[in-house]
Amino acid sequence: MKSLLITSAAILIGGFAAMAQANKVTSAYNYLTSYQQYKDANDLRSAVEYIEPATTNEKTMASAKTWYYRGQIYHLIYQDSSEKAKGIVVEPLTLAADSYIKTLELDAKKEYSKEMIGRLYVAANQFYNMGIEQYNVKKNNLKATEYFEKVLQIIAVPDVASADKKDMPYYSFLDTNATNLAAVAAYDLKDYDRAKKYFQVMIDKGFRGARPYINMGQIFKAEKNEAGMMEVIQKGRTKYPDDAALIIEELNYYLANGKDNEAEANLKLAITKDPNNHQLHFALGSIYDKLSSPDDVAKKPSKEEYHALRKKAEGCYMKALEISPDYFNAVYNLGALYFNEASDIYKGLGDIKDDKLYESESKRAEALLQKSLPYLEKAHVIDPKDKNTLISLKELYFRNGNEAKYAEIKALIGK
C-alpha cells in the first residue's frame, strides 16, 4: 500500500510538471499577444524567458505549438527597432527562421504549414536584404555569405520548395541571386571551397549562363591550378560555344602559355562575336607580329611567310586604331613594326653583294623608319614616360639629324 501511494505521488508530481511547462507556453503566448496590442518590447523579453525553457523540456519540446510561438516572438524582436528590443537576443531572425522550420518538422497535422511557409518566405527576403546591406554597405563579406546561405537554406526546406510559387513571386530571384552572391562574397573572402560549392550549384542549375564557368576558372587560376581552370572553361565553351567572355578566358590562357596557333584561332572567333573590340584586333596583330619574329630560330618563317605575317599584323593594328585612334598599344606596336622591320633589313645588308639590291633595300629600310616616326611620336604624346618609345625616337631623331629633338628625348631618358 505504501508503495502504491509513492507511485501515485510521482504521477501527481509528473502531471504538475507537465502542466507547469504547458503554462510556460501559455504565458509566452500571453506576452506575445500583449506585445501585439501594446508594442512594449518588455513583453517580448518576458515571452523569451517563458518560451525558452519549454523548448528544452521533454513535455513541450516536441510540440509544434511551442516552436510556432517561439518563431513569432523572435520575428517580432527582429522587426522591433526600439532600444528595448535590441538587447534581448543576438540574431533574432535566425532564431525565428529556425523555429519556423522546426514547427514544420513537428506539425504532423499540417496545422501551421501554410502560415509557416509564408513566414519563412518573408524571412528569406529579409535575410537577402540583410546580405545585400552587409555586402554593399558594410563590406562584411563573411556576414553577407552567412545571410545569403540562410536564404538558400530556407527556400530549400521541402515544404517551401514544393509550395505554390504564385504566393512567392521572387522565389526564383532569391534562388539565383542568393546563390550567386553567396559565391561572390565567399570568393572575395578567398574562401574558395565555399565559393566553388555555390558556383557549381549555378552551373548545375544553369544560372547566369556562362558566367559561373568563368568564375570557377578564376578560382582555379587563383589556386594556381591551370589544368582545373582550363577544364572548367572548356566545359563552358562546350555548353556556350558562342559566349565571347568564355572565348576570351580561353584565349588569355593560350596567350599566357605561348600557344600562338590556338590563340590565333580563338582571337578570330572572338572578333566575329565582338568585331568592334579594338583590343581583340590588337591582340591578333600581336600574334602575327610575334610569329614573324619568333625567339626560337627553328621557328623562323620563310621570307614570304615573314612578309605575309607582317602585313597581317599591320592590318590588325590599323583596324584597332580605326576603332580606337588613341589606343597606345596599337599606336606603339604599329610604329615598332615598321621600325623593327627596318632594323631587320639593315642587319641583312652586309650579306648583299648586288649593288642595286643593296641600294634598293637601304631605301626600303629608310622609308620604313620614316613611316614609323609619326606613330612613335603619337605614342609619346599618349604616354610621355614610355621608355621603349623614347629609345626608338632617340635613334630616329639622330638618324634624321634632328639635333633639337634628339637632345630633348635624350634628356627625358636621362631623368
Cα gap 95→101, rounded to integer Å: 10
| Band of residue 20 on the pLDDT scale cut at 50, 70, 90 | low
Helix (H) or strand (E) segment spanning residue 204: helix 192-205
**Burial (Cβ within 10 Å: 0-12, 13-18, ≥19) of residue 400:** middle
Examine the pLDDT at 28 and tell me if it is beyond 90: yes
| pLDDT in the model for residue 248 | 87
What's the rounded Cα separation, in Å, for the pair 161 and 149?
Answer: 15
Cα torsion for 146, 150, 152, 155, to the nearest 10°? -170
Give the mean pLDDT of 181-201. Answer: 97
Give the pLDDT confidence of 73-114 residue by residue, as tens digits: 999 999 999 999 998 999 999 999 999 999 999 999 999 999
Q: What is the mean pLDDT of residues 109-122?
A: 96
Instruction: Provide the mean pLDDT of the chain.
Output: 92
User: Which has more confidence, 23 or 52?
Assistant: 52
Tens digits of per-residue pLDDT, 241-273?
Answer: 988 889 889 988 998 898 999 999 999 999 998
pLDDT tier at 9, thresholds 50, 70, 90: very low
Could you give the maximum distance between any two Cα atoms of the chain, in Å?
138
Which of the following CATH numbers is that of domain 209-275: 1.10.533, 1.25.40, 2.30.30, 1.10.620? 1.25.40
Which backbone phi and psi does 352 adopt, to 5 degrees? -90, 125
Rounded CA-CA distance 54/62 in Å is 9
Rounded CA separation 139/136 (Å): 6
* CA angle, residues 326, 330, 333, in degrees to nearest 5: 135
Domain ranges for the chain: 209-275
Q: Which of 15 and 228 is assigned the larger pLDDT?
A: 228
> How far apart are alpha carbons 414 and 402 in whole angstroms?
18
Amino acid 415: pLDDT: 59
> CB-based contacts of 340: which residues, under 8 Å, 6+ apart?
293
3-state secondary structure at position 216: helix
The secondary structure of residue 276, as a DSSP letter, is T
C-alpha cell at 379: 605614342
Q: How many CB atoms lie within 10 A of CB 259?
A: 14
% of the chain surpassing 70 pLDDT:
94
DSSP, collapsed to helix, strand or coil, labels residue 189 as coil
The pLDDT value given to residue 2: 38
Other C-beta atoms lying within 10 Å of the C-beta of residue 90: 7
Q: What confidence tens digit (pLDDT) does each residue in 122-177 have? A: 999 999 999 999 999 999 999 999 999 999 999 999 999 999 999 899 999 999 99
